[in-house]
Amino acid sequence: MGEQTEFKPGMRAPNNGTYIEIGENDFHMGITDPQQITLKAGDKFPETKNKDRKWTKKGND
């Protein structure tokens, strides 16, 4: 079983790093000005800009 890559607000970060908002259509259209946050392992993910978005780890942090 692989490591989880998408996280909902309120979940805890599995690792230290920078996380970025993603959305349902971001593959095709992108998200304008997505939120980026830096968390430590165990920190809770904050709310996203809308209910259809989640958090994912950014790049090779």
The C-alpha atoms of residue 23 and residue 30 are separated, in whole angstroms, by 8
For residue 7, pLDDT beyond 70: yes
pLDDT at position 33, please? 81
8-59 confidence digits (pLDDT tens): 999 999 999 999 999 866 555 667 788 999 999 999 999 999 888 999 999 8
Domain positions in the chain are 1-32+39-44
Task: Let me know the angle formed at the C-alpha of 40 by 55 and 48, rounded to the nearest 5 degrees.
Answer: 25
C-alpha distances in Å from residue 6, one per residue of 12, 13: 11, 10
Prediction pTM value = 0.83
